Amino acid sequence: MGIPTAPIVTIAFKDLAYSNAAQRGMPHERICFTPHPVWGKSDAQMYAYLEGDDPVTHKPLMPEIISALTKPLAPDEEKSGTVTPHVGPEIFSGSQDELQDYYMNNGMTDFMPIILPTREKVEAMLKGTSHSPDESIGKMCPAKGSYPEWSYTVRNVAVNAVMAGCDPSYFPIVLAIAASELPSLSSSTNSFATAAIINGPIRDKLNMNYGIGAMGPFAQPNATIGRAWTLVSKNCGSCGQPGQTYLGTFGNTCNYNNLIIPENEKDSPWEPFHVQKGFKKDESVVSVFFGMDIRQGQNGPGLGIKPVPHYQEAFAFNFGTCAPLFGGLVVCDPLVAQGLVELGFKTKEPLLDWVWKNATISVKDAKTTLFGLRFTEASAANLPDEARIPIFRNASYVNIVVVGGETNPYHMVANMSHRGSVSIDKWT
């Protein structure tokens, strides 16, 4: 732009601000800082910030801002040229314990022991795909548009898949997830979570667990594929460095190995999720989701109705507290799906449409919800406060997947959006 600019950031994001400026080519950018937070403070409190000190320089803030715009540039601030970042040597050497410590202390793990990625193990992992080790897969960063994107190859992903404990036969799924370019660790101050629905023959080929405890720690592919996603995000996408590329205030236990959901196609009365998205039934596909959380849905109204509970009412009720920023994903046991068929929902589409229309929020609440009216119906701003509008933007923001071991007709609801589906077969 060529206009002097003074960016102002709160002190909580000091490292993020400096690192992002450096990665974007302005390592000496004159960033000014306020105390944290600004959001939620009164006008008087904000003015007091201005009359106080910059918490980094400990000098009065407003003169610092003025100085950022008027102090003549130093030679370093006028530099141009290109810098090539380097991520370190190709190989690390040491004893098992030394290497475990080294990977952990340099932010390359999830702080649990890894399988050390020796050449032999990585070569074996690469046999899990026909693709060239040097083939570029995609680009990833902690938040698209906010960070420079790193690129990665089949070999990079193989190293992380070994570290996560994957068998080479799982590698096509890990590659497909990596090809989605969705990181499992977002830079947001929210503590977001991600999910991957797995469909098609590969579920049985790998003995994935889609029955009892499918989303728990009870099967190697379910556990390690999701763990590989997080390691790929950290190491290939520069995600997950607290204070710099990860700012989630709480963190999220889902981030250890994410929500890996192989659909129970065998016991579902409906067409599989990937078929809904245009893939063939005999094709193996991963569909990735991104959003807030997942929780049990047993408290929903309608579940006590006999003989067939009105599950759809519980879905809509449970979505009632979701953020309109994302969509809604129902994860239901096959018993629930079979009950819904008895209620007349022979296919998923009319059910999803019903849930979308009945998962509502008042206009008054939408106006005061964080980002509320930006993501609900645009016309809602002109409706009376007591009118009710769908929480989610349209019916395509509501999805359902069938999984579980039929021990009871339960469901879960996730405040998550579908962010794409990728063929696994293309990565075999």
Partner 1 sequence: MSIYLLDVKSLIRGLAPGLFKSACLAQRIGRNMRGAAMAGTPAVFYFCCLGCGRLVMNRRKLLSLLGASPALLAGTRLHAAERQSAASPSGKIEALNPKGTPPPITLIPMAPRLKTLDGKTIYLVSDGFPGADHFLNQIAIWFQKHMPTVKTVYRLKAGALPDDDPKLWAEIKAKGNAVIMAIGH
CA distance 248 to 291: 13
List the interface residues with partner 1, window 48-107 (CB under 8 A): 49-50, 62, 65-66, 69-73, 76-96, 98-99, 102-103, 106-107
Closest distance of CB 159 from partner 1, Å:
4
What is the residue-wise DSSP string for 200-248?
STHHHHTT---STTTTSS--HHHHHHHHHHHHHHHHHH----BTTTB--
x-or-dash pattern for partner 1, window 141-180, by CB under 8 A?
--xxxx-xxxxxx--x--xx--x-x-x-x-----------
CB of 232 or CB of 359, closer to partner 1: 232
Site for partner 1 in 18-37 (CB under 8 A): 18-20, 22-30, 34, 36-37
- DSSP code of 60? B
Encode 298-310: b = buried (16+ Cβ within 10 Å), e = exposed: eebeebeeeeebb
Site string for partner 1, 292-331 (x = CB under 8 A): ----------------------------------------
Rg (CA), the chain: 24
- Binder to partner 1 among 112, 305, 308, 370 (CB under 8 A)? 370
The answer to whether residue 406 forms part of the interface with partner 1 (CB under 8 A) is: no
Among 55, 60, 124, 358, binds partner 1 (CB under 8 A): 124
Where does residue 379 rank: exposed (0-12), middle (13-18), buried (19+ CB within 10 A)? exposed
Q: Kindly state the greatest CA–CA separation across the chain.
A: 78
Among 112, 130, 135, 218, binds partner 1 (CB under 8 A): 218
> Which amino acid is it at 263?
E
Nearer to partner 1, 302 or 405 (CB): 405
Instruction: State yes or no: residue 251 binds partner 1 (CB under 8 A).
Output: no
Q: Which of 179, 215, 225, 231 binds partner 1 (CB under 8 A)?
A: 231
Q: Which is nearer to partner 1, 123 or 377 (CB)?
A: 123
Positive or negative torsion for Cα 108, 110, 111, 112: negative
Ramachandran region, residue 165 (left: φ > 0; alpha: ψ -120 to 50; beta: rest): left
- Nearest distance from C-beta of residue 205 to partner 1, angstroms: 11
Q: Which of residues 329-358 bind partner 1 (CB under 8 A)?
A: none
- DSSP conformation letters of 99-164: HHHHHHHTT-S-SS------HHHHHHHHTT-SS-TT-EEEEE-SSTTTSPPEEEEHHHHHHHHHHH
Contact 362, 393 (CB under 8 A): no
- Residue of 196, 144, 142 lying closest to 170 (CA atoms): 196
We find the least distance from the C-beta atom of residue 71 to partner 1, in angstroms, to be 6
Of the listed pieces 17-25, 194-202, 300-308, 388-396, which binds partner 1 according to CB under 8 A? 17-25
CB of 98 to partner 1, least distance (A): 6
Q: Tell me how far, at minimum, the Cβ of 316 lies from partner 1, in Å.
A: 28
DSSP secondary structure string for all residues of 337-370: HHHHHHTT--SHHHHHHHHHHHSEEEHHHHHHST
- Single out the segment in contact with partner 1 by CB under 8 A; choices: 38-46, 296-304, 357-365, 406-414: 38-46
From the list 85, 182, 178, the residue with the least C-alpha distance to 125 is 178
**Contact flag: residue 238 with partner 1 (CB under 8 A):** yes
Residue 262's SS3 state is strand
> Smallest Cα–Cα separation from 35: which of 11, 6, 53, 58?
11
Is-contact 401 314, C-beta < 8 A? no
43 lies in the binding site for partner 1 (CB under 8 A): yes
Q: Minimum Å distance from CB 78 to partner 1? A: 5
Beta carbon nearer to partner 1, 246 or 354: 246
Nearer to partner 1, 28 or 388 (CB): 28
Residue 185 beta carbon to partner 1: minimum distance, rounded to whole angstroms: 13
- Among the listed ranges 139-147, 307-315, 348-356, 377-385, the one in contact with partner 1 (CB under 8 A) is 139-147
- On the 0-12 / 13-18 / 19+ scale of CB atoms within 10 A, 34 is buried
5 forms part of the interface with partner 1 (CB under 8 A): yes
Letters for 178-207 (x = contact with partner 1 by CB under 8 A, - = none) are -----------x--------------x--x
What is the closest distance, in whole angstroms, from the C-beta atom of residue 27 to partner 1 in the complex? 4
